[in-house]
């Protein structure tokens, strides 16, 4: 029997067919959906072509899949920035970099195919208050590729690679700012109202995209040969940091109020408690990195005042430390939430373990490098090792869930207009109802037999 859930029966196709052999799965937003166990597919159920094979994967390929590239990308970066450098760490970083490029290109190609073949899905996805937030994962995933290009390719290939990195960063920055601003406008102009208890940390995703782009800009400025180009990149990165970081702090205040009044989120989305580490960790990393680059570039370009770079450097260090401390509080809250809510089901939201904790580890390592402090370097290394272990666990769960089809369930498809819904005229209702009834009778008879034997 074929266990590949690209042929799994969607819940909507089984409604009224008498099939009781189902279980509940969850999507990244915590919403539940029925799925037939992969070992018990009905041989007689004829699915529409849109609900089997590659079409089902494409239609249900939500933006949350880019979180895989975020998690994989931050692991590749951690292998490079771990303070105790070793050749084998560098090679592991390169391997994960190549893997991340493959994952990102694949996800981008499937997404383009999705919205090209089914343009109506774009509209319902944008209007969905949960799925649309995951658009922020796309520029963040691409930013990790730009980072590794800076760390690996530029030292190996020279000046032309530096300008390629600059061009890639400009594209990433434009997309990130567009996502941050446009989704903010859509959130305010949405026709439906949301209560405070529905606010989750996923609101940070489109905002964090610009924070991450700003930090990547700081790294790109460090490898640009022309000081004027580096200066422009630094100024742009400061502006993006100012555009997104205060907004992220505002959302954190809202989210904390939600936790205080309505307690923990549902266990299906409890991993989102780690998301505040993203803008706080990378926000601190960005402002510190920008200060260091300002100290280097401002004297070369005669910007503002000879002391301006030093001031930016010192302010960056203290602001970075403050944001790191704030992140430590959210890390403690997240660990407490995870401990209280265990066990919780696996879904794509588990990738929220990797990237936020990974960027917090990067911030810790950078603080240890700048101070310098052995404590921060050791702590950053410990956090990096934890992230790598988490990546292995989450990647294994994702591979298993993808093969079984449990992770290809885009909830926004429920909002399609009736004429846009997948047609099920190919389904033989009488045959499938008879099959479902027979299955039920076999289960009942088996239960009675076991009772007699006992």
Confidence of residue 420 (pLDDT cuts 50, 70, 90): low
DSSP secondary structure of 220-282: HHTT-SSHHHHHHHHHHHHHHHHHHHHHHHHHHHHHHHHHHHH-SPPGGGGGGGGTTHHHHHH
Q: Is the dihedral of CA 268, 115, 72, 291 positive or negative?
A: negative
Res. 239: pLDDT tops 90: yes
pLDDT given for residue 283 in this prediction = 96
Res. 214: pLDDT tops 60: yes
Rounded CA-CA distance 72/61 in Å is 18
Res. 22: pLDDT tops 90: no
Helix axes 227-262, 277-301, angle to 10 degrees: 160
Q: What is the mean pLDDT of residues 201-230?
A: 95
pLDDT: which is higher, 450 or 275: 275
Range of the domain at 273: 57-190+198-412
pLDDT: which is higher, 70 or 120: 70
Cα angle for residues 111, 117, 119 (degrees, 5° grid): 80
Interval 55-105: pLDDT, tens:
888 888 889 899 999 999 999 999 999 998 889 999 999 999 999 999 999
Q: Is residue 170 part of a domain?
A: yes
Q: Is residue 14 part of a domain?
A: no
Residue with tokens 């402002």: 287
pLDDT given for residue 21 in this prediction = 42
> Is 31:72 a contact under the CB 8 Å cutoff?
no
Res. 418: pLDDT tops 50: yes
Res. 27: pLDDT tops 60: no
Mark out the alpha helices in 276-373 (DSSP H runs): 277-301, 308-341, 354-370
Interval 432-454: pLDDT, tens:
444 344 444 444 444 443 443 33
Rounded CA-CA distance 248/280 in Å is 8
Least confident among 5-9, 91-95, 180-184, 404-408: 5-9
- Residue 16 DSSP label: T
Percentage of the chain lying above the pLDDT 90 cut:
57
Res. 28: pLDDT tops 60: no
> Is 300:381 a contact under the CB 8 Å cutoff?
no
Q: Is residue 150 part of a domain?
A: yes
Number of domains composing the chain: 1
Q: Is residue 450 part of a domain?
A: no
**Mean pLDDT over each residue of the chain, to the nearest integer:** 83
Q: Is residue 22 part of a domain?
A: no
Q: Is residue 444 part of a domain?
A: no
Q: Is residue 223 part of a domain?
A: yes
Rounded CA-CA distance 73/33 in Å is 30
Q: Any idea what the CATH number is for the domain that residue 234 is in? A: 1.50.10.150
Q: Which of 311-315, 340-344, 349-353 has the highest mean pLDDT?
A: 311-315
Burial of 409 (0-12, 13-18, 19+ CB in 10 A): buried
Give residue 69's Cα distance to chain centre. Answer: 8
Res. 8: pLDDT tops 60: no
Rounded CA-CA distance 339/337 in Å is 5
Q: Is residue 229 part of a domain?
A: yes
pLDDT: which is higher, 422 or 69: 69
For the record, the structure tokens of 383 come out as 């956090």
For the record, the structure tokens of 398 come out as 């994702």
């Amino acid at each position: 029997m074929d266990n590949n859930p690209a042929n799994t029966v969607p819940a909507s196709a089984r409604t009224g067919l008498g099939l009781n052999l189902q279980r509940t799965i969850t999507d990244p937003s915590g919403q539940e959906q029925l799925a037939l166990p992969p070992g018990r597919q009905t041989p007689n159920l004829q699915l529409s072509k849109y609900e089997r094979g590659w079409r089902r994967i494409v239609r249900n390929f939500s933006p949350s899949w880019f979180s895989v590239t975020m998690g994989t990308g931050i692991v590749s970066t951690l292998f490079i920035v771990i303070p105790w450098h070793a050749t084998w760490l560098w090679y592991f970083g390169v391997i994960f970099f190549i893997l991340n490029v493959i994952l990102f290109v694949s996800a981008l190609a499937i997404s383009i195919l999705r919205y090209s073949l089914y343009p109506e899905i774009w509209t319902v996805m944008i209007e969905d208050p949960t799925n649309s937030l995951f658009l922020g994962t796309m520029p963040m995933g691409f930013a990790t590729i730009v980072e590794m290009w800076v760390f690996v390719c530029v030292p190996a290939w020279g000046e032309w690679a530096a300008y390629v990195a600059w061009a890639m960063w400009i594209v990433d920055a434009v997309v990130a700012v567009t996502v941050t601003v446009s989704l903010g406008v859509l959130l305010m102009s949405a026709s439906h109202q949301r209560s405070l208890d529905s606010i989750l940390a996923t609101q940070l995703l489109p905002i964090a995209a610009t924070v991450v782009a700003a930090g990547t800009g700081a790294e790109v400025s460090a490898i640009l040969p022309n000081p004027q180009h580096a200066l422009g990149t630094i100024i742009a990165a400061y502006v993006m940091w100012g555009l997104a970081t205060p907004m992220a702090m505002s959302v954190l205040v809202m989210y904390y109020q939600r936790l205080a009044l309505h307690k923990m989120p549902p266990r299906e989305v409890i991993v989102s408690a780690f998301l505040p580490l993203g803008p706080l960790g990378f926000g601190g990393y960005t402002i510190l990195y920008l200060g260091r680059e300002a100290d280097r570039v401002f004297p070369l370009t005669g910007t503002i005042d000879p002391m301006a770079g030093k001031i930016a450097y010192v302010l960056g260090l203290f602001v970075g430390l403050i944001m790191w401390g704030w992140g430590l509080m959210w890390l403690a809250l997240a660990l407490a939430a995870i401990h209280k809510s265990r066990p919780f089901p696996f879904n794509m939201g588990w990738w929220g373990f990797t990237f936020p904790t990974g960027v917090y580890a990067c911030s810790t390592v950078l603080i240890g490098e700048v101070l310098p402090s052995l404590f921060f370097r050791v702590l950053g290394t410990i956090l990096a090792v934890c992230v790598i272990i988490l990546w292995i666990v989450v990647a294994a769960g994702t591979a298993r869930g993808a093969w079984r089809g449990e992770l290809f369930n885009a909830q926004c498809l429920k909002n399609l207009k009736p004429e846009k819904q997948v047609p099920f005229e190919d389904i033989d209702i009488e045959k499938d109802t008879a099959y479902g009834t027979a299955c039920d009778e076999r289960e009942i008879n088996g239960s009675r037999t076991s009772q007699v034997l006992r």
